[in-house]
Chains A and B, each alone.
Chain A
C-alpha cells in the first residue's frame, strides 16, 4: 500500500461501474474516450459495465490495451427471483486470472438475461438469481449490490431491516465471496436518491453483515459537461420531454471522477454516519482489491487476437486441415482448369502453391475449408451462390468452388485478398438468393450447431435527422416543427449544425429562426451532441459468425428480429475477438435468375446451369450494346445505360471495366471519359512508360483497379504485391503519403525509371487515393451482369417473370411490364383461375389477343433486333401474380392458390372467403372474368352481383371437394342484365382499373390513351430516339419513371428524368441549370410529361435528350381538345385559346420532319 493511509495509490481510482455510450440511451461517452480519460487521471484500471450487455466490451479492451491500463468487464443487469419477481439491477463483474472462466460466465449471464426477452410482451432482459448463482460458482463472478438493487431500494426508503433480510437472501443464494455492497454517492441534496445518507447506511449494512463494500460512481459519462447529453438520453429512452421526466438524474455527478474527487466522496460518506475505525481506508482498499481481482488478461482471459476456427470434424475434415486443403485445392485445379489446356492447369498449380504458402504461414487452412463448406451447404440447398469481394482473386477459392470467377485470366491478385503483410482475418462475401437467406441461416445453425454460429449485430448511430428529432422531443417541441427542421438536415454532419447554419445559404431562413428562438438555439447544440452516438443495435444484414464450441463463452448473444441468436459484437469486434465472420448477403437478382431457371425447367424440362454458360455469347453482348439493359444486373440505371452505350462492351472484361468505372471515385475523377477516348481511338493511350504498359493495357492507360495500383507499386519498387497492397491502402491517409513517396522515388530511381516518369506516375498514384475499385469486385459483379443479360437475351419470358417476382432493380414493376410488352412477351391479366403467388410463364390461351386487346395500342414497333423466343413451341405469356392486388391478405391469396381452379363464382366465394374489398377489386380488374366467359362487357353485372351479395359464405372445409350440386347461380344472361352499369366501371379503361387496384397496367400501356395526341403533335417514340442524329429537336412524352440528381463535377445540379412512353426503353432527359430555372417545380413534380429538347449523341448507341421545356401532358391534352372544339365551333374563347395557341406555336417550332408516325391511331 502507499503512504497516504487510504490504501489507494496516489495516482488513480479504479472505477468498477461504468456505462459507455454503447449502453444506448443511457451512457454517452465512447469507451475509447473513457479509457483515455482514466489513464490521464493516472488510473491503472478501468472496468466497463454496460447495461444489459457487453456492447462496448471489445472496444473497451482494445482501448485499455492501447492506453496501457488494466481492463475489467461486467454488465449492469436486472435480476429476478425464482418467482420471477424483480430484484432490481446489479453489476456483474468477471474475475480475471481464471483462464477465461470469469469472462465466459459473464457472457453466459448476459445471454441468459436476454433469454427472457420476448417471453412476455415488452419484457426487459433479466437473469434469474439462481442462474446467476450457478454461473458465479468457482469464483468466476462478483455481484455488486448497489442503490438500484432490491437491497439498495430498501435502504433508500430507510427500511433497514428489510434491507438486511434481502441481503441475507442474496447471501443464501449466491456462492461464498461472490457478493459485495456497492456504495454510490452523487452528493445529491439530502432526501433525494444519490445523497450521502443512503450511501452511509449501505456502508453500515456492509459492516454489520461482514461483507466487503466497494465505492463506485455509477458512471454514465466521462466529463461533467456530458451530463446534458445524459439528460437527453433519458428523454429519448423514455420518450418523454425533459420537463416531464419522472426520474431525471438527480444531478450531474455521474462522471468519471478522478481519485481526489472519489476520496472526497468517500470521506463525506464515512463522515455522515457512525462507522468503525478505518472504515474509509477499508472501503478504498476493498475497491482496489476487487479491481485487482477483476483485471482481465486480454490474451489469457479473453483470447484477444486469437482466431478460433470451427473444429475440423464440424467442417467435414478427419485429418489435418492443411493436408485436406492441399488435397482439395489440387484436385479442384485439375477439375476447374481441365478444359483450358495443360499450360493453364500448370500455371494454376503454381499459383495454388504460392497461395497455399501464405495460408500455411497464417494458419488459415480451417478458414478456407469452413467457407468452402458453407458454399457447399448453400449449393446443396439448391440456392444460387456467388462469391464477391477480394476473395475472388484466389485460385484456391476458385478451386474449392467457393468462387465462380476464374482469377488468373481476369488478372485478379491473391495479394489484394491475403498476404503475410495483411494480418487481419480475410473476408469472403457470399451473395445468395435473397428469398432464401433466412433458410440458409437456419441451415447453418442446424449444421454447425447453435453453440458455434451466431448472427452478427451492427450498431446504428445517431445521424442528423434522428438526432434533431430526439433533441426536439427532449425539449418538448412541436413534432411538426422538428420534422420540418429534420428535413433540412442533410449534406452536412449534425455535429457541424451550427457552422452549417452560418455557411449554407439554403439554411438562412432556419438560421434566422434560430437567432430569434432560445429553444431552437438549444436544439442546434443538443442535436450536435447526439450526432454519432450509438442509438440501437440490430442484426447485421449479412454477417454470420462461425466459430468453435467456445463461441458462447466469448460472445454474449441475444435474439435477433428473425428469432435467431445475434452476437452483441459488431463487425469491428470480430477481428480482435478472433471470430470468423462470413458475409452472406441476399441478392434479389440471384433470386430472380433462380426463378427464371426454375420456370424454364418447369416448362421445358431443360436445366440451365448459369455458372457454365459460355462467356462469349455474341447476341448477349449485342443486347447490352443496344442499351436495352432494363432488368440487367448493375447496368439498368439511366447513367449505366448511357455509359454502356458509349463503351460498347464486346468481351467479359469490358463488363468488369464498365462496372468499375461507374463508381463515385472514378466518376469524380473523370476516368470514364479518359478511358472512352482511348478506347475509341480518339486519343492514344498514355502508358507513361513501356514497363507500365502490360499493367495498364486493359484499361487503355487509365488506372481504374486496385490491382493495377498494386502492380505499379511493385514494378516501381520491387516491394512485392503484398507490401504493395499495404501502400495502396495507405494512399488514403494523408500522413502516410510523404513516406510512401520518398520510398517510391528512391526505389524507382535505382530500378531505372527516369525522374520525369516517376513524377508523372506518382501524381497518378497519389491522385488515385483510396478511390478506384478492386477488380475482383468488378469481375464478381460482372458475372451476374452477364448471366442476367444472357437470360434476357435468350429466355426473356422466364427472366421477366423472375424480375417481376423478386423485383431486384430500381424501376417500378409497371415499367418491367411495359418492357415485356415491347419484347413481345404478353403479360396476362390477373385471373383467380391461373394467377399464383409468384409470376409464372404459361401457354397463351387460344384467341388470347382477342380477349384482352380491347384498347388503342401502338402498333408494336419492330424490335431493333430479333427477340429470340426460346425453344419452339406455343407462344407463352407471363401471368400476373396474386400479391399485386392491393389490399388483399396473405391468407386470401393462399386460399385462392390452394383451391384453384374454381367451378363457379359461388365455389370461389365459399372456398376463398374473400373480404368484400378484395372480392370487388378482383372483379374490377377482371380477375373473375372466367365466371362470365371472359366477356368484359358483363363485368358490370358481375360487380353489381357481388355488391348485392348479402348472405354469408357457406363455409366449405378446406379439404372438402367442391359441391357437385348446382347452387343457385344467377344467370348472367338475358335482357335483364344488359341494363346494368356499374358506376365504378363506367368510363374507365381496363388500364385505369388495373392501375387503381394493381398499380400495374397489364393490358395496355397507361399512356396508350394519349397516342392519338402524340401522333398529332409529332412526339418521337422513345424506341426511335436511337436512330436520330445528334442535335435533332424532338418532342418526347411519357410517364416519369425515375428522377436522379447525381453530383456533378462542376457542382451545379443536373436533373435526369427517365420517361416511359410504352414503346421501348426509357428515354432519359437531362435538364441543366438554365432549363431547371425556366421550368421550376414541375421538373420534379409532373407525373405525365411532354418535353421539348434536343438529342445528344454519346458514342455509337448512346443517346439522351437535353430538355429545354416541359409541360404537363394532361394540360397539353386538354388544351389541344379545347383547340379542337373551338375550331369546330369557330368560336373564340379568349383565355384558353391564347394559351393553346401559344402552346401550338411552341410545339410547331419542332421540325415536322421528325414526326414519327409510329403511333397507330384507332379512332374512338
Chain B
C-alpha cells in the first residue's frame, strides 16, 4: 500500500530538467534511471475559480537513500515550482 507523505521537499534537477535527487527529512535520495513524468488532468470546473493549469505534474521515480533499498516515489511539482513528495509506494 502506498504511504501518503505529502511533504515539501527540495529537488535537484539535471541540466535537462529531470529530477536527479530530492532531500527529504534531511536525507538525500538519489534517483535511479530515467524518471517518467505524468500529467493528470483535473475536472477544474467542479472547483473554485479558473486554474492556470488543467493538469497536475507527477514524477514517478525510483530513488534510494544512501545504500538503502530503493523505493518508488511520486513527486508532485506545483504550479509555483515547489515540489511535494506525495507518495511512497514502497
Contacts and interface: CB of A to CB of B under 8 A. Distances in A.
Contacts of A518: 48-49
Nearest to B55: A251
A1114 B46 CA distance: 54
Given A224-B52, A225-B52, A249 B41 contact: yes
A224 B79 CA distance: 10
B39 A187 contact: yes
A260 B17 contact: yes
B21 to A, nearest CB: 17
Interface string A516-541: 00100110011001000000000000
B44 interface: yes
A585 to B, nearest CB: 42
Contact of A243 (B16, B43, B52): B43
B16 A267 contact: yes
Contacts of A521: 48-49
A228 B50 contact: yes
Given A228-B44, A243-B45, A252 B55 contact: yes
A474 B54 CA distance: 15
Given A227-B54, A271-B34, A261 B49 contact: no
Contact of A251 (B40, B46, B51): B40
Contacts of B41: 248-252
Contacts of B51: 228
Contact of B36 (A196, A227, A243, A525): A196
A535 B51 CA distance: 23
Contacts of A525: 49-50
Interface in A228-256: 228, 231, 242-243, 248-253
B45 A252 contact: no
B37 A188 contact: no
Nearest to B40: A189
B53 interface: yes
B54 A228 contact: yes
B18 interface: yes
A253 B48 CA distance: 22
A224 B50 contact: no
B18 A264 contact: yes
B38 A190 contact: yes
Contacts of B38: 187-190, 195
Nearest to A241: B45
A190 B40 CA distance: 10
A242 B45 contact: yes
Contacts of A522: 45, 49-50
Nearest to B39: A251
Given A228-B54, A522-B49, A252 B39 contact: yes
Interface string A753-779: 000000000000000000000000000
Contacts of B55: 227, 251-253
A267 B39 contact: no
A482 to B, nearest CB: 15
Nearest to A264: B17
State the main secondary structure of chain A at its contact with B.
Answer: helix
A260 B37 contact: no
A186 B57 CA distance: 12
Interface string A175-216: 000000000001111100001100000000000000000000
Nearest to B48: A518
A475 B37 CA distance: 30
Nearest to A474: B45
Contacts of A188: 38-40
A19 to B, nearest CB: 17
Nearest to A225: B52
Contact of B54 (A195, A231, A264): A231
Contacts of B16: 260, 263-264, 267
A272 interface: yes
A464 to B, nearest CB: 18
Interface string B5-28: 000000000001110000000000
A268 interface: yes
Interface string A256-278: 00001101100110011000000
Given A263-B16, A264-B16, A518-B48, A224 B53 contact: yes
Contacts of A224: 52-53
A186 B39 contact: yes
A473 to B, nearest CB: 12
A867 to B, nearest CB: 66
B39 A268 contact: no
B75 to A, nearest CB: 14
A252 B50 contact: no
A272 B51 CA distance: 31
Looking at B40, B45, B52, B53, the one whose CB has the most chain A CB atoms below 10 A away is: B45
A658 B48 CA distance: 56
A225 B53 contact: yes
A268 B45 contact: no
A228 B18 CA distance: 26
B52 A268 contact: no
Given A186-B39, A525-B50, A261 B44 contact: no
Nearest to B18: A264
A227 B50 contact: no
A227 B53 contact: yes
A252 B49 contact: no
A335 B52 CA distance: 69
A150 B44 CA distance: 32
Contacts of B33: 271
Contacts of A263: 16
Nearest to A529: B50
Looking at B33, B37, B48, B51, the one whose CB has the most chain A CB atoms below 10 A away is: B37
Given A189-B38, A227-B54, A242-B45, 5 more contacts: A187-B37, A188-B39, A227-B55, A264-B18, A525-B49
27 contacts: A186-B39, A187-B37, A187-B38, A188-B38, A188-B39, A189-B40, A190-B38, A196-B36, A224-B53, A225-B52, A227-B55, A228-B50, A228-B54, A231-B44, A242-B45, A249-B41, A250-B41, A253-B55, A260-B16, A263-B16, A264-B17, A267-B16, A267-B18, A268-B37, A271-B34, A518-B48, A521-B48
Interface of A: 186-190, 195-196, 224-225, 227-228, 231, 242-243, 248-253, 260-261, 263-264, 267-268, 271-272, 474-475, 518, 521-522, 525-526, 529
Top 8 nearest A-B pairs by Cβ distance?
A251-B55, A271-B34, A252-B54, A251-B39, A525-B50, A251-B41, A227-B54, A252-B55
